[in-house]
Amino acid sequence: MNELIKKLTEAYGPSGFEDQTRDLVQAEIAEYADEMSIDTMGSLIARKKGDGSGLKVMIAAHLDEIGVMVSHITEEGFCRFTNIGGVFPHTLLGGRVQFADGTIGIIGCDPIEERSKIHPLKKYYIDVGASSREDCPVHVGDAAGFTRPFLAQGSHLSAKSMDDRIGCVIGIEALKRLKTTPHDVYFVFSTQEEVGTRGAEAAANGLLPDVGIALDVTVAADTPNARRMAVNLGDGPAIKVKDSGMIAHAGLVRLLRQRAAEANIPYQLEVLEGGSTDARSMQIAGPGCAAGCISIPCRYVHSPSETVDANDVAQCVDLLVALLENPIDL
């Protein structure tokens, strides 16, 4: 899957500007979906028809990534910016961003007087090679995503937008492998997750699924002095039990564990203290649904080098297919 992962993670797609990434996903799944549509929020919805004996299931993986937006251009041509989603200032200095038209910018900051302190976001700027406001090639309101090449080191895969292009890859691969299913399955490649799970909320309110499953990254707690958590890179898919936005449906957690055991897929249980996913929006959309999440362990989340393990990714695909090929009895 590395070529697909590289293609999607290196693509441009900050929240609200997912078109280029969506086009790549649409081309990948065109021959496998029974129906495809794009809703008003820009989410791509691919339907796999079931045999009529199952449930309506929504699978959500978000297309968007964190990024920045130009808020002001100085007389000298430097771009001040605001965040799109959870951008950490300590990851910025010396980094590079790419705008929709391919323009590359270098992130600098005001002079650092105390090296032990981190500047707030308002102290950073983007240098796009301009010498004045008039010759600046970008404008107020233009969005940029971080740029960093995909890297494979053994089974460890690093890129700037594993969150959540790796979830999209899992959705794509599962759709390709899902030959028959009792369920009416809607694979939703959602927009604007990083700014409030907005695309998934709109899609879920339109589809009103019985079951909703998000595919998203979670924190791997196996680095030095990491916050204690029972999720490690390379130990298999993480089945979400709880995060700060939702408590997963207990019956769905049990079923995911059962399907993993039946298929000899290693798994971990995730209790995440901060953050949430599209599962929260699906859980409370319309009359509500049985919602959960298959999480991909990830190091360095919301940095330009988010890192996952290829074996975890493959096993997430296996687990999702095992769930969808069989009856869902909660």
Active site residues: 193
At 124, list the tokens: 């950073």
CA distance 209 to 60: 11
User: What is the pairing mode between strands 290-298 and 211-219?
Assistant: parallel
CA-CA distances (angstroms) from residue 136 to 128, 140, 168?
7, 10, 34
Residue at token pair 């929020």? 41
Distance of CA 250 to the CA centre of its chain: 24
| Token code pair at residue 236 | 């298999």
Q: 158: which strand partners?
A: 151, 307
Give the tokens for residue 163.
């969150």
Nearest Cα neighbor of 38 from 214, 279, 199, 209 is 199
Task: Write phi, then psi, for 67 (nearest 5 degrees).
Answer: -170, -160
DSSP assignment of 52-119 equals SSS-EEEEEEE--B-EEEEEEE-TTS-EEEEEES---GGGTTT-EEEETTS-EEEEEES--SSTTSPP
Helices (H), the chain: 2-9, 19-29, 162-177, 198-207, 250-262, 278-284, 310-325
Nearest Cα to Cα of residue 291 among 219, 214, 218, 207: 214
How many CB atoms neighbour CB 3 within 10 A? Answer: 8
* Among 279, 254, 275, residue whose Cα is nearest residue 58: 279
Assess whether the previous peptide bond of 164 is cis (omega < 30° from 0). yes
